Amino acid sequence: MNKKRVYVNRSLDLKKIKYIGLDMDHTLVRYDSEAFEEATFEAMKTLLVERYDYPKEILKIEFDFQKAIRGLIVDREMGFILKLNRHGTIRESYRGTKPMTYKEVKQVYGSSYIDISEKRFLAVDTHFSISFACLFMNLVDYFQSQGNSGFVTPAELCDHLWVVLDDTHRESIVKKMVLEDPARFLIKETGMIEAIKKFKKHGKRFFVLTNSDYKYTETLLNYSFPNQEWKELFDWTIVSAKKPRFFYDDLDFLKINENGSLENWQKPLEKGIYQGGCAKKFVSYLDLDESSILYVGDHIYGDILRLKKDCGWTTALVIEELGQEVEMNEKAQVYASEIKSLMNEKIVVEKKLDELICKKIEGGVEYDDQTRQDMIEEFKALDRKIIPLITKQRNLFNSSWGEVMRVGLEESYFAHQVERFADIYMPKLLDLLCLSPRTYLRSPKKPLSHEIDS
């Protein structure tokens, strides 16, 4: 039996969903993320040399997909990269590619809590976050090793990276590579057409809503759906949608006709391909009930954050990393139970030591110094066993940053965003479409601290 692969933050009855909207890149069409991030990384380096006179030597910096994960925060002022827990407390931090100690973090930030809405902080949570963070970390190292801190400040470095990343999109530098060699970058998903047809038999209607332009969308969909079957499967394909603006603005639709001509469109959308538009007009032209629409995307900010704030649609988030993370969680169980049993031993020693000290403070009972020292040694010995187990457990995920969804025992800031804005989430779209269209997805009861036996 297949394992449950759709996770629920807020209960959802698929029977009540009549329209399913799909983002294209990294949702309907899957990418080989490592190949795509590496191509982006190389393109960014080249643009830094060509447009910002960065030393040619930086072209030698190699891409390492394991150096970063999604959901990190850049401190533009200091040039550090941070991983936060759900409350915005720094739990992991790097200066360049070197981990920082707790003491260093304290020295810089005082309290380790940061306000992410401050301009100096930049959240990197898109699919280009790994190339961006990886290059940023390496360039901080590079300039530090050159003693050339005057060449760029961390903030300038961050801005330059942001601009060249934007340029690679605007000028479609990596997209051109995808168009030339789709097999290098795209993963063909078997079973997608049958799964969509199954939902359509239950009366569900599908649409594509993507920021990609018409030419790119058409090429990728033709590649993924033989014989242009996507034109039959999807009632409306909306390209160049400018999400998240699509969800809160009031822009008009243009219909893209068969001959490529554009036509102003201010009436109910017919089956076909459109450009631009907005959620408000989409819903009102077609007289849709917002609560009957489910939208699936992979980008917290672009796809679901504004959608959740401005529209009544139901949201689903694809988190590609989750597939591996769930698998590794199972492998990590062996370490987790060992850590738990050692922690229990530690608690026993801790209580004995506290009792000893309390008796002296409260009752004047002197203790043998050697006894106290032995207990402290026992305590330290247990720590020496626990620490390598934690490292082994963490290395199962990512040796630099650990899990995307957690920091130690706590939820990561990224996981917190997922919980707030995604009603359901899953490693890939097909996990959702493999379910019966009559499934009732129920959110589990999440215990509060006072409900857990300590």
298 touches Mg ion by CB under 5 A: yes
321 touches Mg ion by CB under 5 A: no
Write down the least CB distance from residue 298 to Mg ion, Å.
4
The DSSP H or E segment spanning 206 is strand 205-209
416 touches Mg ion by CB under 5 A: no
Side chain identity at 167, as an amino acid letter?
A: D
In this chain, which residue has its C-beta nearest to Mg ion? 25
Q: Which residue has the tokens 């479409």?
A: 433
CB atoms within 10 A of CB 106: 13
The DSSP H or E segment spanning 399 is none
Write down the least CB distance from residue 399 to Mg ion, Å.
27
Which one, 85 or 237, has the nearer CB to Mg ion?
237
37 touches Mg ion by CB under 5 A: no
Stretch touching Mg ion by CB under 5 A, among 23-31, 38-46, 59-67, 315-323:
23-31
Please answer whether residues 92 and 112 qualify as being in contact, where contact means their C-beta atoms are separated by less than 8 angstroms. no
218 touches Mg ion by CB under 5 A: no
45 touches Mg ion by CB under 5 A: no
**Candidate list 7, 21, 22, 23; residue touching Mg ion; CB under 5 A:** 23
25 touches Mg ion by CB under 5 A: yes
> What is the C-alpha separation between 399 and 1, in angstroms, rounded?
32
Q: Encode 248-280: b = buried (16+ Cβ within 10 Å), e = exposed.
A: ebeeebbbbeeeeeeeebeeebeeebbbbbbbb
Cα angle, residue 376 at apex, residues 371 and 379 outer, rounded to 5°: 125
**Candidate list 26, 91, 95, 306; residue touching Mg ion; CB under 5 A:** 26
Which one, 137 or 296, has the nearer CB to Mg ion?
296
Which one, 31 or 225, has the nearer CB to Mg ion?
31
Write down the least CB distance from residue 23 to Mg ion, Å.
4
Stretch touching Mg ion by CB under 5 A, among 17-25, 44-52, 261-269, 441-449:
17-25
Which one, 138 or 210, has the nearer CB to Mg ion?
210
Q: Which of 208, 183, 172, 205 is nearest to 25 (CA)?
A: 208
Stretch touching Mg ion by CB under 5 A, among 95-103, 224-232, 292-300, 349-357:
292-300
320 touches Mg ion by CB under 5 A: no
If DSSP codes are grouped into helix, strand and coil, which group holds residue 144? Answer: helix
Cα angle, residue 392 at apex, residues 387 and 393 outer, rounded to 5°: 95
> What is the C-alpha separation between 125 and 147, in angstroms, rounded?
31
Please answer whether residues 179 and 222 qualify as being in contact, where contact means their C-beta atoms are separated by less than 8 angstroms. no
281 touches Mg ion by CB under 5 A: no
Contact positions vs Mg ion (CB under 5 A): 23, 25-26, 298
